[in-house]
Structure 1
Amino acid sequence: MPDPESRPSAAVTSPSVEVRSATAEEMPAVIAQASRQLGMSTDSFGGMSPEWTTCVFVDGEVATTYGAWPLQIRFNGPAVPIEGVTWVSTHPAHRRKGYLRAVVRKHFEQMRERRQAAIAALHPAWMAIYGRYGYASITTRTTYTVAPRDIQWRHPVEIPGRVREVDLETEFGLLVDVYRRYREERNALIHRGRAMWDAGPTGKPPAGHRQVVLAYEEDGEPLGYVVYHHGPGVERDRAGASQYLQVTDYFAMTPAAHQALWTILGGYDNVAEIRRPNAGPDDPLPLMLVEPRMLNARTQDGIMARLVNVEDALPLRPYPVATELAFELVDGFCDWNDGKWRLQTSLSPGGGSVERHEGDVDLRLGVDTLAQLAFGRISATEAAAAGLVDRVRDESVLTRWDAAWRTAYPPHESEHTW
């Protein structure tokens, strides 16, 4: 019998691993892979150009998918370019091999080279995954689940206008106009293309539900709108209403617009509950109701952002005061950000500057914490209380930093379409 040890062993070859953009011919395979791993229909993956992707191919087959939409976000008022990361998936056979890390690194290096956008953002499946790459949560979203009968006003306001139904086919521009005016001075709202509207707020409702679009107007000027659908879907073990009403988009610019639109929503006798996701942290509804606890408000994290190129990102937003902030930044993933910096703030977007610094600094912080400060998600004082900054030079530093990073509005982003 031959000695097993003497048998020639099969040749072991290392797989060919490529980190690159997909070609047009490879896009169907990329979409199929992302669809399977993310549990979404392939119909949800349209519009992505091959050059916006960064993927891992192992022996010519798709292992990791990743894409980045060129988007614009409101950054304490002005619109700035960002890369909206999406389509992130890895085939189970190729996980825990560092492929996603390689893709993210290549994407960030390309962003630095191109200098077209200094910030990346995404909707995280798990915050822990992206925190290791320097991302931080910059928005929160609140979901209301309220019975129509609980829409009762603590201080009813005069309603000088009227609510009317909107025909999406002929009056889609009305919604766009209200949304654009609302976001003008806001913080973290995304600019919507038509595909975003169609895939999200104005998309097809579930089977058996009717979609309704209402606008509030005064003297012919739209000051708010709500898009919703309603129909069966509430299981009950006793008699009563069995429908629910799902708000898919809502923006109102005045107290009268808020109360007029919500009064209509509260008038559905066959609806057991109104579900309103994505309310912002400064949404006035809780302050308006007699019993705000009946909103059953639930708050969770929203999008995460990453300052890929700090030198370019920080001057993009306006600041409430003109001052100088010196800090030591810790960034273990993008080493070009690591080290000491001096930020000269400006009241005008693009008017400030960020330069390398060799002197004393006010404090030290991580790039994830800096993103939260830049978008106004937290203050420097809150960051210090959570242990997110250290080596604070003196007590006055936090007060000065709080004033410098303050935003006109808290960050709020309401999309799930990228």
Structure 2
Amino acid sequence: MTTELRVLTPAEWDTFYASLERAFGVTESQEERELFRDLTEFDRTIGVWDGAGCVGTAGAFSFRMTVPGGASLPVAAVTMVSVAATHRRRGVLTTMMRRQLDDVRARGEAVAVLVASEPVIYGRFGYGVATCEMRAEIDTARVRLSVPDGTDDVRLRYAQVTDADVHRTCEEIYAAAVPGRPGMMARQPGWDRLQVLDPEKDREGATALQCVLAEDPDGTVLGFARFRVKPQWSAAGADGVVVLEDLEAVGPRAPQAAAALWRFLFDLDLTSKLVSVNRPCDDTWLHLVSDTRRSALVLRDALHVRLVDVGAALEARTYRTAVDVVFEVEDAFCPWNEGRWRLTGDAKGAVCERTTDPADVALSVRELGAAYLGGFSLAALAAAGRVRELREGAVAQAAAAFGSDVAPWLPHGF
């Protein structure tokens, strides 16, 4: 069989998307299909075709991601990657990854990111796991919250999810939160619709999406929570589940607003469990609960990061402590990154340039991507044998510099 890789045209989108659905074993609602068609960047979307059939899919969205120091970096958000079961082990995925990363480089984007359906796939293309998401199932019948002073002054009110003013307010709060945490994505036009997309097939017996706003007494909105309630009953009585979709609070009174929202979710009538599927691993509620053991915490890989231009990527962020280190970078899939790079920087900025000086630290681009947002330590990677120290003390210096005061997190799906 012969295959052809080409940029997707609007006329081919239905066939392309049907191939993607089949590969993932899902059937999207009409509303979801229409939204993703609207969001598709056709010049960044490719398909592999065998005759009239689409046997491979891949795309990218143009986003801006916060990096340590607060800068907003243009990134390629890789998505919709699939290979038909009939065409595995024929180089289809490698061909798409090759074409895609060449395109990312040509566009001048220093970093590509993705969320993997199967994490084992992407390491060989230079992606490293850079953030985690925390999942929890909190036994709210037994776990109690201890809230900070001033929480009782926060006023809560229900708001209509689909109300335009409410939606705009929630988006403004999200936008204000983005610069404060590495890994967060600035919302691009149209992507706000995804946050309130509420197909019945995805509710799994829960209510439609609900929203509560947290306000100061003067009416200033401090934060919001969007959630569902799944009613359940056992022989002992009501045993409902609260399913948290997203929660944000910003500003000087963010601790009180967040605590008020968490307390509200804990105390909902006829419920005994709060399920949260994606929160940062340093989330505030961890320090408010009486018992984390009864919160069933699970960490899972989230954002995978790939440095497409090592020099530009390392210059785009700042560093928590002063650093002057020469990296020997291995990158067989993007060989333009291979070789030695001297990184000098601090909290004010950085320079990363080619050098012939002796290397201090040797690692692959995969490990560099894992450490890029400050979520995983170069020292930990060295302890695992994934990073080699060539100058005594160099790993410790680099690890301290690459750290982040807050855990990187991706709340924005793509």
Per the normalisation by structure 1, the TM-score is 0.89
Q: Which structure 2 residues correspond to residues 115-154 of structure 1 after superposition, within 5 A? A: 115=108, 117-154=109-146
Q: Could you tell me how far 1:34 is from its partner in structure 2?
A: 0.8
CA distance in structure 1 between the aligned counterparts of 2:214 and 2:55, rounded to whole angstroms:
49
CA distance in structure 1 between the aligned counterparts of 2:372 and 2:328, rounded to whole angstroms:
15
Equivalent position to 2:77, from 84, 91, 99: 84
SS in 1 for 2:105: helix
For 2:106, the equivalent position in structure 1 comes to 113
For 1:39, the equivalent position in structure 2 comes to 25
SS in 2 for 1:88: strand
Given that residues 323 and 398 in structure 2 are in contact (C-alpha distance below 8 angstroms), is that contact kept between their aligned partners in structure 1? no
CA distance in structure 2 between the aligned counterparts of 1:391 and 1:255, rounded to whole angstroms:
40
Given that residues 229 and 245 in structure 1 are in contact (C-alpha distance below 8 angstroms), is that contact kept between their aligned partners in structure 2? yes
For 1:407, the equivalent position in structure 2 comes to 404
CA distance in structure 2 between the aligned counterparts of 1:74 and 1:34, rounded to whole angstroms:
29
Call closer, same or farther: CA 1:293–1:410 in 2, change over 3 Å.
Answer: same
For 2:237, the equivalent position in structure 1 comes to 240
Call closer, same or farther: CA 1:204–1:64 in 2, change over 3 Å.
Answer: closer
For 2:227, the equivalent position in structure 1 comes to 228
Q: Could you tell me how far 1:302 is from its partner in structure 2?
A: 1.0
For 2:271, the equivalent position in structure 1 comes to 271
Q: Could you tell me how far 1:125 is from its partner in structure 2?
A: 1.1
Given that residues 207 and 228 in structure 2 are in contact (C-alpha distance below 8 angstroms), is that contact kept between their aligned partners in structure 1? yes
CA distance in structure 2 between the aligned counterparts of 1:215 and 1:154, rounded to whole angstroms:
20
SS in 2 for 1:149: coil
Letter in 1 for 2:368: L
CA distance in structure 2 between the aligned counterparts of 1:255 and 1:153, rounded to whole angstroms:
13
1:229-261 CA distance string (max 9 Å, x none): 1133x474x332242111111113422112211
For 1:10, the equivalent position in structure 2 comes to none
State the aligned residue count: 397
Call closer, same or farther: CA 1:274–1:208 in 2, change over 3 Å.
Answer: closer
Given that residues 78 and 113 in structure 2 are in contact (C-alpha distance below 8 angstroms), is that contact kept between their aligned partners in structure 1? yes
Letter in 2 for 1:378: F
Equivalent position to 2:371, from 365, 373, 376: 373
Per the normalisation by structure 2, the TM-score is 0.90
Equivalent position to 1:58, from 35, 38, 50: 50
Q: Which structure 2 residues correspond to residues 320-339 of structure 1 after superposition, within 5 A? A: 320-339=320-339
CA distance in structure 2 between the aligned counterparts of 1:299 and 1:240, rounded to whole angstroms:
31
SS in 2 for 1:336: helix
Given that residues 151 and 262 in structure 1 are in contact (C-alpha distance below 8 angstroms), is that contact kept between their aligned partners in structure 2? no
Letter in 2 for 1:405: F
Q: Could you tell me how far 1:69 is from its partner in structure 2?
A: 0.7
SS in 2 for 1:103: helix
Q: What stretches of structure 1 move > 4 A for 4+ residues in a row?
A: none
Given that residues 82 and 119 in structure 1 are in contact (C-alpha distance below 8 angstroms), is that contact kept between their aligned partners in structure 2? yes
Given that residues 201 and 248 in structure 1 are in contact (C-alpha distance below 8 angstroms), is that contact kept between their aligned partners in structure 2? no
Given that residues 157 and 255 in structure 1 are in contact (C-alpha distance below 8 angstroms), is that contact kept between their aligned partners in structure 2? no
Q: Could you tell me how far 1:56 is from its partner in structure 2?
A: 1.5
Q: Could you tell me how far 1:105 is from its partner in structure 2?
A: 0.6
CA distance in structure 2 between the aligned counterparts of 1:156 and 1:70, rounded to whole angstroms:
39
Q: Could you tell me how far 1:334 is from its partner in structure 2?
A: 0.6
CA distance in structure 1 between the aligned counterparts of 2:336 and 2:325, rounded to whole angstroms:
19
Call closer, same or farther: CA 1:151–1:262 in 2, change over 3 Å.
Answer: farther
Given that residues 243 and 274 in structure 2 are in contact (C-alpha distance below 8 angstroms), is that contact kept between their aligned partners in structure 1? yes
For 2:177, the equivalent position in structure 1 comes to 182
2:158 aligned with 1:165, yes or no?
A: yes
Q: Could you tell me how far 1:114 is from its partner in structure 2?
A: 2.2
Structure 1, gaps ≥5 residues long: 1-14
Q: Could you tell me how far 1:294 is from its partner in structure 2?
A: 1.8
- RMSD in angstroms over aligned alpha carbons? 2.0
CA distance in structure 1 between the aligned counterparts of 2:407 and 2:336, rounded to whole angstroms:
29
For 1:196, the equivalent position in structure 2 comes to 191
CA distance in structure 1 between the aligned counterparts of 2:335 and 2:52, rounded to whole angstroms:
31
Q: Could you tell me how far 1:215 is from its partner in structure 2?
A: 1.4
Deviates more, 1:281-290 or 1:206-215: 206-215
CA distance in structure 1 between the aligned counterparts of 2:341 and 2:62, rounded to whole angstroms:
28
SS in 1 for 2:408: coil
Equivalent position to 1:389, from 375, 387, 402: 387
CA distance in structure 2 between the aligned counterparts of 1:155 and 1:31, rounded to whole angstroms:
47
Larger radius of gyration: 1
